[in-house]
């Protein structure tokens, strides 16, 4: 993230009003239109495919521990993925 000087883009009156609340400190101003996580990259798709693969491997007999080692995850993470995949499949079946 790059920073922009407020003096370069905001009117002096607005800067003075903001200084009443955050004089000299950095603040984050979010964008108007918030984008969902993972929309700019393939990460969301990658994780979805990985999690489905983990579930399929579990259904074929691999243990949580084996999956944790194979995917470099904690056992708790694998268990969370399995639980979420099971719930998602139950929702789709309804």
Give the tokens for residue 30: 């979010």
- Helix/strand/coil (H, E, C) string of 22-63? HCCCCCCCCCCCCCCCCCCCCHHHHHHHHHHHHHHHHHCCCC
Q: Can you tell me the distance from the alpha carbon of 10 to that of 15, in angstroms, rounded to the nearest whole number?
A: 7
| Residue range 58-62: mean pLDDT, rounded | 97
pLDDT 10s digits, 11-39 = 999 999 999 998 888 888 887 887 777 67
| Residue range 86-91: mean pLDDT, rounded | 91
Average pLDDT, the chain: 90
Instruction: Determine the pLDDT at residue 32.
Output: 80
Give whole-number Cα distances, 5 to 9, 13, 14, 22, 76, in Å.
7, 15, 13, 15, 44
pLDDT 10s digits, 45-59 = 999 999 999 999 999
With a cut of 90, say whether residue 42 has pLDDT above it: no
Instruction: Determine the pLDDT at residue 2.
Output: 77
Is the overall model pTM greater than 0.75, yes or no? Answer: no
């Amino acid at each position: 993230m790059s920073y922009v000087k407020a003096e370069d883009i905001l009117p002096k009156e607005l800067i003075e009003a903001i200084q009443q609340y955050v004089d000299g400190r950095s603040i984050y101003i979010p964008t108007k239109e918030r984008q969902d996580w993972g929309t700019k990259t393939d990460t969301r798709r990658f994780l979805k495919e990985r999690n489905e693969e983990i579930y399929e491997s579990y259904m074929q007999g691999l243990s949580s521990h084996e999956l944790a080692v194979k995917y470099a995850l904690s056992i708790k993470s694998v268990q969370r993925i399995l639980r979420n995949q099971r719930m998602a499949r139950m929702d789709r079946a309804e």
